[in-house]
């Protein structure tokens, strides 16, 4: 009497079948690459350095005016700014 240890279809290795599935998934995943696009608005925001330079120049001018005593703030603009802040 001959005893076969084959359970199910013969010649099929479940571990090899699983590895083949993983290889197929890996091959399809590698063909789909992510793509990043930067909008024109975002590119414009990258030029913040020029804004910072202009702001620093304005701050320096205001410091000089305060030190000399020639700085005269506009009270109407200040009041409007406060109102706009609290209306939000």
DSSP-assigned states of every residue in 31-53 = HS-------HHHHHHTTHHHHHH
What pLDDT score was predicted for residue 5?
62
Give the pLDDT of the chain (88 residues) as one tens digit per residue.
666 665 655 556 777 777 888 787 766 655 667 788 888 888 777 777 777 888 899 999 999 999 999 999 999 999 999 999 999 8
Instruction: At 5, list the tokens.
Output: 């240890």
Backbone torsion region of residue 72, taken as left when φ is above 0, otherwise alpha when ψ lies between -120 and 50, otherwise beta: beta
Q: What is the pTM of this model?
A: 0.38
Task: Report the distance separating Cα 64 and Cα 52, nearest Å.
Answer: 18
């Amino acid at each position: 009497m001959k005893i076969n240890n084959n359970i199910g279809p013969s010649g099929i290795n479940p571990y090899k079948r699983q590895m083949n599935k993983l290889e197929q998934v890996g091959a399809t995943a590698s063909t789909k690459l992510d793509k990043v696009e930067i909008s024109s608005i975002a590119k414009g925001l990258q030029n913040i350095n020029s804004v910072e330079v202009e702001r620093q120049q304005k701050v320096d001018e205001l410091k000089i005016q305060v030190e000399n005593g020639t700085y005269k703030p506009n009270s109407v603009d200040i009041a409007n700014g406060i109102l706009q802040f609290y209306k939000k």
